[in-house]
């Protein structure tokens, strides 16, 4: 009987500890996201759930070939619509947002692959993509797509990255937004983290590796 009373007294404390641990994990270690579009096929599929590692990006450490999640840098996405539901479901959803199981719907996120980092000269001409004068090797590109059907010639400035979707023919990425305030670049402070794994559905579970487009492998 005493053990039961002791547990009941400690239960609120255990809940608080669990929430603190969850918030710590969400803020500094890992966060989970839902893939809403096909812009990263076949690396990521529509409705996949992915785990995002936040640790390297606390120090803005980003590498060419990383698959990253980032906040909308300059109106790339339409304005988020309000989420409807009853009081109970809204409370549950808000709780899941707080602990990092689902992203905050008020914040707009995208997922793309880093193609160019600070100092890189990225050029697309006649459906051939080069970085610093070297042709790219991108086995992850969606079957039937060219490296880019849009010509461009850019140099990535300090503090920004150039991103593209693996499904090049269905991705609204840096190429499409060259007229925005960042010239299509993504500021590194907008990066949430690197996608490290697909965790749902079960048949899609697996690690997501960084693949440098200049790698010979």
d(CA 80, CA 96): 18
112 is catalytic: yes
Backbone angles phi, psi at 46, to 5 degrees: -60, 135
Identify the active-site residue in 6, 37, 39, 84.
39
Identify the active-site residue in 4, 22, 26, 112.
112
Do residues 45 and 35 touch, judged by C-beta distance below 8 A?
yes
39 is catalytic: yes
d(CA 196, CA 69): 11
**What separation in angstroms does the CA of 208 have from each of 39, 40, 114, 163, 202?**
16, 12, 14, 17, 15
Please identify every residue annotated as catalytic: 39, 112
């Amino acid at each position: 009987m005493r053990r039961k009373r002791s547990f009941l007294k400690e239960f609120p404390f255990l809940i608080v500890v669990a929430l603190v641990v969850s918030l710590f994990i969400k803020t500094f270690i890992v966060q989970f996201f839902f893939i809403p579009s096909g812009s990263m096929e076949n690396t990521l599929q529509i409705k996949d759930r992915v785990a995002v590692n936040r640790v390297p990006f606390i120090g803005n450490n980003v590498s060419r070939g990383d698959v990253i999640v980032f906040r909308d840098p300059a109106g790339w996405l339409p304005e988020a619509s309000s989420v409807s539901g009853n009081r109970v479901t809204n409370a549950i959803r808000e709780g899941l947002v707080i602990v990092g199981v689902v992203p905050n719907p008020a914040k707009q996120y995208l997922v793309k692959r880093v193609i160019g980092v600070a100092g890189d000269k990225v050029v697309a001409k006649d459906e051939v993509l080069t970085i610093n004068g070297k042709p790219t090797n991108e086995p992850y590109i969606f079957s039937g797509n060219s490296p880019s059907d849009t010509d461009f010639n850019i140099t990535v400035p300090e503090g920004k990255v150039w991103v593209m979707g693996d499904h090049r023919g269905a991705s609204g990425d840096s190429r499409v937004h060259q007229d925005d305030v960042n010239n299509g670049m993504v500021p590194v402070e907008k990066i949430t983290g690197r996608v490290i794994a697909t965790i749902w559905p079960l048949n899609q579970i697996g690690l997501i590796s960084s693949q440098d487009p200049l790698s010979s492998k």
